[in-house]
Amino acid sequence: MAPRRHSSLYPPKVKLPYLPPNEERHHYLFLEPCGCPFGLVEASANKPGGPPRIADEGEAWDEMYDTRAEERAARATGVRVVHVDHATYESDYYDRMSPSYPCPHRSAE
């Protein structure tokens, strides 16, 4: 008797959208005027050699904010966006993205 490949107890694996290896990943990182990060948009390719998910900074702003008015208000307050690779994100910004991270700039005000 051949072994069963699928069990009714365990659903088949769900195939997730392609995500490139970490060394090929890039992000658009949104920074408060003080330099603290608060938002991230994936900029990596959809598939090896494919077009980027978010092609440029303008598209990253569109992805981050629902309306042009919100985007203009953020820009007016000094919000800026930087393009970083995944290693830079992990080493310099990841820990500071937590909602529980206390912005040292705000506590000084």
Query: What residue spans define the domains of the chain?
Result: 22-99
Do the strands 80-85 and 26-31 form a parallel or antiparallel pair, or are they unpaired?
antiparallel
Q: What does the pLDDT look like over 21-39, one tens digit per residue?
A: 778 888 999 999 998 999 9
Q: What does the pLDDT look like over 37-47, one tens digit per residue?
A: 999 988 887 76
The span from the CA of 2 to the CA of 100, in Å, is: 52
Q: What does the pLDDT look like over 72-105, one tens digit per residue?
A: 999 999 999 999 999 999 999 998 888 788 777 7
What is this structure's pTM?
A: 0.73
Residue 44's pLDDT is: 80
* Average pLDDT for 1-8: 48
